[in-house]
Amino acid sequence: MHNAKHTSAAQQFGMHRATHRDPKLVQWGLTLAALLTISVLIVIPLVNVFYQAFAGGLPTYWENLVRDSDTLNSILLTLAVAPLAVVANLVFGLAAAWAITRFQFPGRSLLTALIDLPFSVSPVVAGLMLMLLFGLQGYFGPWLQEHNWKIIFSTPGLILATCFVTLPFVARELIPVMEAIGPEEEIAAISLGADGWQMFWRVTLPNIKWGLLYGVILCNARAMGEFGAVYVVSGHITGRTDTMPLRVEKLFQEYNNPGSFAVASLLTLLALVTLIVKVLLERKTRLELAEAARVVHTPGEAS
């Protein structure tokens, strides 16, 4: 996900100052084109998901979700896999941001670049890599079988695949925030006798909480929605290794459109909630960064 935050204040001023320049006809034409594009590509599909899901009425919708035990299992599986992946990447994100923004070490910028690596790997390739390590023909396959451990075609594989795909989310939100805040308050806390954990809970965490939450929300949305990577490692065992997106695909293949759209509507709801929280948090993190920029009197360094 590209990290481009914009200031709505500038946006509001901007539109007032420049709006009179373009002829009315151009303004209307472009606005119409933009709204038509957004409507066709985004709004109509969005409405259609809920229309299709509820086409058979509310009782049918409910039955499609709850009476179908395989669908119910897929929901439960997603609710188990996604939070585990999010927590793993939350801990990783904190560690990585702390190391990268608070210390100098050789290879620091390389490490920062490497964190984004999973974004540029096709999800299917990510799944394949896990197969090569842990699948029956994989490097650790025979060893795992000897000890009767199963990773591929079972929940641990799903968790690993999801962790890989969502690895950068928390770290890449935290790094700019912590960079902007700077280490001064933490150094002060330590100098005044706080130990590491006290400093973390009382100084660091309160400073970064909104940025952290923002990263977690984005990470969770992707974790619950991941398709390609888990598709490869799941083995498609109905009722056991199908997450919600995989269930959507299976029901679609079985020509069970109402069932498929019912599951899809839940995922769409998740996306909408994510968007709302994102809008709210973006404002908060912007304030956080502005605050940090005001405290640190080094213009040009706090970006």
Partner 1 sequence: MSPSNRKVLPGFSLSLGYTLLYMSLLALIPLAACFTKAFSLSVDQFWAAVWTPRTVAAYQFTFTVSIVSSLASIILGFVIAWVLVRYDFPLKRIFDALIDLPFALPTAVAGLVYSGLYVETGWLGQFLVPLGIYGAYSRFAVVLVLTFLGIPFVVRTLQPVLESLEDDKEEAAYLLGASRSQTFWRVIFPTLIPALVTGFALSLARGLGEYGSVVFVSGNMPFKTEIAPVLIVARLEEFAYAEATAIAVVLLVISFAMLVLINLLERWSKRYYA
Q: Are 266 and 251 a contacting pair, CB within 8 Å?
A: no
| In the complex, minimum distance from the CB of residue 225 to partner 1, in angstroms, rounded to a whole number | 3
Site string for partner 1, 145-174 (x = CB under 8 A): ---------------x--xx--x-------
Which residues ranging from 61 to 80 are in contact with partner 1 (CB under 8 A)?
none
**Residue 54 within binding range of partner 1, rule CB under 8 A:** no
| In the complex, minimum distance from the CB of residue 66 to partner 1, in angstroms, rounded to a whole number | 20
**Residue 298 within binding range of partner 1, rule CB under 8 A:** no
| In the complex, minimum distance from the CB of residue 264 to partner 1, in angstroms, rounded to a whole number | 4
**Residue 90 within binding range of partner 1, rule CB under 8 A:** no
Contact with partner 1 (CB under 8 A) among 66, 67, 80, 116: 116
- The C-alpha atoms of residue 243 and residue 127 are separated, in whole angstroms, by 15
Contact with partner 1 (CB under 8 A) among 15, 25, 110, 192: 15
Place of tokens 């990783």: 92
Scanning 62-70, 93-101, 208-216, 287-295 for contacts with partner 1 by CB under 8 A, the matching segment is 93-101
Picking from 116, 147, 148, 118, the residue whose alpha carbon sits closest to that of residue 130 is 118
**Residue 227 within binding range of partner 1, rule CB under 8 A:** yes
Contact with partner 1 (CB under 8 A) among 246, 262, 289, 292: 246
Q: Determine how many CB atoms are found less than 10 A away from the CB of residue 199.
A: 18
Q: Can you say whether the dihedral through the CA atoms of 214, 216, 218, 224 is positive or negative? A: negative
Contact with partner 1 (CB under 8 A) among 83, 228, 239, 258: 228
Picking from 103, 121, 111, 224, the residue whose alpha carbon sits closest to that of residue 172 is 111
Which residues ranging from 175 to 194 are in contact with partner 1 (CB under 8 A)?
182-183, 186-187, 190-191
Which residues ranging from 255 to 294 are in contact with partner 1 (CB under 8 A)?
257, 260-261, 264, 267-268, 270-272, 274-276, 278-279
Scanning 61-69, 110-118, 208-216, 284-292 for contacts with partner 1 by CB under 8 A, the matching segment is 110-118
Q: Can you say whether the dihedral through the CA atoms of 39, 40, 43, 47 is positive or negative? A: positive
| In the complex, minimum distance from the CB of residue 293 to partner 1, in angstroms, rounded to a whole number | 16
Picking from 144, 132, 125, the residue whose alpha carbon sits closest to that of residue 231 is 125
- The C-alpha atoms of residue 153 and residue 59 are separated, in whole angstroms, by 34
Q: Which residues have CB under 8 Å from 88's CB, separation 6+?
A: 159, 163
- The C-alpha atoms of residue 256 and residue 250 are separated, in whole angstroms, by 9
Q: Which residues have CB under 8 Å from 181's CB, separation 6+?
A: 207, 208, 288, 292, 296
| In the complex, minimum distance from the CB of residue 208 to partner 1, in angstroms, rounded to a whole number | 14
Q: Which residues have CB under 8 Å from 72's CB, separation 6+?
A: 65, 66
| In the complex, minimum distance from the CB of residue 185 to partner 1, in angstroms, rounded to a whole number | 11
Contact with partner 1 (CB under 8 A) among 57, 137, 147, 148: 137
**Residue 131 within binding range of partner 1, rule CB under 8 A:** yes
Contact with partner 1 (CB under 8 A) among 72, 73, 83, 98: 98
